[in-house]
Amino acid sequence: MSRARRLAWVGPLLVMAGAGCNQRGLATCDITQHACQVDIYYRMLNLRGDGYDPFGGLPPVTVITEDEYRAMLLADQATTTPSPEELAYDKALELLHFTSPAAPPPGDGGLDGGAGNQDAGNSSIDDQVAHIYAFYDQNSKTVTVISHPNQTGSQPILTGMYVLAHELVHALQDRELDLNRTHFSSSDDVLAYKGMVEGDARFYEYLFDNDLRVMQGLAPADALQWPDDELDYAYTHFDELGSPLFAAEYLMYPFGAKYEATAYRSGGNAAVRHAYAKEPQHTVGFMVGPDGRVPPVSSGDVSEPPVVCSLLTTKGAVAERDQMGAVPIYAFLRAWAMDHATAFATAQTWTGDYLLVQATADVGTTAVAWRLEFSAAPDARIAQALAASGELVAKTAGTSMEITTTNSPTPLVWEPSANCP
């Protein structure tokens, strides 16, 4: 399933951090230096309440130059050959404007590491080389730090510190979770898991960041409120978050951190660990509104959307299927000029969706049909806005919405699959 592969863990993409192991002082330091790495590592053990050091001093950390990192990215790019299904799926996302180019949002450091949130599909390798500070590779079990000798001043140093803190949480997670998990059934499945993994690292990154504030002589802040602050900023400045596809992935960081902050308020680190046992299986489970209401999730099946019968016959055609989930739907609606309140309330009522992609054997013509189901009838303005663009056909019937689009130069006929030859 192409979308799940597109949301793989490794690779630079996306830094808004009790008792336990050795207490160590915290001071500004260069993350390319071993002593700095050790100090940050032990501080993260302490913040997480870990009672032992699983690595006996420090997880494997490698420091590379910008040139070495560029060579690594170029080698990865050269060995990546998308399949016809992936090409068709990518074209479908383009037709839905899920991958429209946009400016990169403010900084972040993720499992995929970095100081600048950038849509890997829309940014150059040079951008990644310039802005990524560190990343964790769960295949080699190594944290890689990229040296930036030309970056001077206090801000790059501090940014590097909390990026490394974030990546070291991933190294610790890899002793407890399956970060090599590949059996994802949909985009929604991938993003929900990412919400827990990245949300965990983001939450403790917040606590670490607060430590850095105190170190600088600033008053401690309420780091448990920071996930909400980051989300509020994202909602207000949505146009700064890049493409809707990237925005959805980015939002899972503060959504996941908010989930953990809520647990932490109730019982500290132990409650955070228990929260993993009941982690949301769908992204809608992270979309808790200001009223604290957790959206219910239906497990009902969504009927197949119509298929194209006139031009794209089943013989020799390429097909892909996916379930996008509530958070990508929110990002999709915002990209089509829906206000936050309408888009969020609509996404909260998500009960399922079914994205069907069809393409000719040469992937020259692509058609997309997307059926969305909600627990309440969606706002009529949504379908009107989508249809007014002239690029999409959108219609609602009760609690469902159907969206179709194609790059075919001739009109296509959409029919239920039972009616197709």
If the chain, 421 residues long, is cut into consecutive pieces of 10 residues, what is the mean pLDDT of each piece? 39 34 64 96 94 91 96 89 91 91 38 43 72 92 94 83 96 87 88 94 95 88 95 94 92 96 94 85 91 73 83 71 96 94 95 93 90 94 91 93 92 80 67
Which residue, among 326, 327, 307, 329, has the nearest Cα to 318 in the 3D structure?
A: 307
Looking at residue 315, what is its pLDDT?
Answer: 61
Looking at residue 319, what is its pLDDT?
Answer: 87
Please check whether residue 286 lies inside any domain of the structure. Answer: no
Can you tell me which residue has the tokens 């991933």?
170
Same structural domain, 134 and 240: yes
Please check whether residue 289 lies inside any domain of the structure. Answer: no
Looking at residue 313, what is its pLDDT?
Answer: 60
Rounded CA-CA distance 342/348 in Å is 10
Residue 147 in contact with residue 63, Cβ under 8 Å? yes
Looking at residue 5, what is its pLDDT?
Answer: 37
Residue 165's domain spans which residues?
Answer: 2-281
First to last CA, the chain: 25
Looking at residue 421, what is its pLDDT?
Answer: 67
Residue 365 in contact with residue 408, Cβ under 8 Å? yes
Please check whether residue 112 lies inside any domain of the structure. Answer: yes
Same structural domain, 253 and 318: no
Please check whether residue 302 lies inside any domain of the structure. Answer: no
Looking at residue 110, what is its pLDDT?
Answer: 39
Rounded CA-CA distance 336/2 in Å is 24
Q: Which of 246, 281, 316 is the last residue of a domain?
A: 281
Same structural domain, 236 and 194: yes
Same structural domain, 227 and 319: no
Which residue, among 339, 397, 346, 345, has the nearest Cα to 371 in the 3D structure?
A: 397
Please check whether residue 301 lies inside any domain of the structure. Answer: no
Amino acid at 6: R
Same structural domain, 270 and 312: no
CA angle 217, 218, 224 (to 5 degrees): 135
Same structural domain, 119 and 268: yes
199 contacts: CB under 8 Å, gap ≥ 6: 252, 253, 254, 255, 256, 257, 258, 259, 260, 286
Same structural domain, 78 and 225: yes
Residue 305: DSSP 8-state:
P
Same structural domain, 258 and 313: no
For the chain, the residue count is: 421
Same structural domain, 269 and 323: no
Same structural domain, 272 and 311: no
Tally of structural domains, the chain: 2
Residue 139 in contact with residue 72, Cβ under 8 Å? no
162 contacts: CB under 8 Å, gap ≥ 6: 15, 17, 109, 205, 208, 209, 212
Please check whether residue 210 lies inside any domain of the structure. Answer: yes
Amino acid at 210: N
Please check whether residue 298 lies inside any domain of the structure. Answer: no
Q: What is the pTM of this model?
A: 0.88
Same structural domain, 394 and 251: no
Same structural domain, 22 and 126: yes
